Amino acid sequence: MAVGLLPDVLAKPLARLERFGFLILIGLLALPTLLGLHFSILGALISGPVEILHSFITTITGLQEI
């Protein structure tokens, strides 16, 4: 999608990388583990929405601690 919006100078290099996009994404998600860091990019992205959903469900069901 971005290839169609960018000028040709930027679109051509991006188009060449496009076929490796999934591998690049997996690599970026696995990078902290490969470096021996105890940080999860996926966990950081998911934790906020999960906390909001958990709070919403416990509130509407009356299970929230006061």
| Residue 33: pLDDT over 80 | no
pLDDT digits (tens, 9 = 90+) for 5-32: 888 888 888 888 888 989 988 888 788 7
Q: In this predicted model, what pLDDT tens digit does every residue of 37-66 receive, in sequence order? A: 777 777 888 888 999 999 999 988 988 665
Which CA distances in Å does 41 have to 17, 29, 33, 57, 61? 22, 6, 10, 25, 31
What is the token pair recorded at 17? 């990388």
pLDDT of residue 50: 92
**What pLDDT sits at residue 66?**
55
Question: What's the one-letter identity of residue 7?
Answer: P
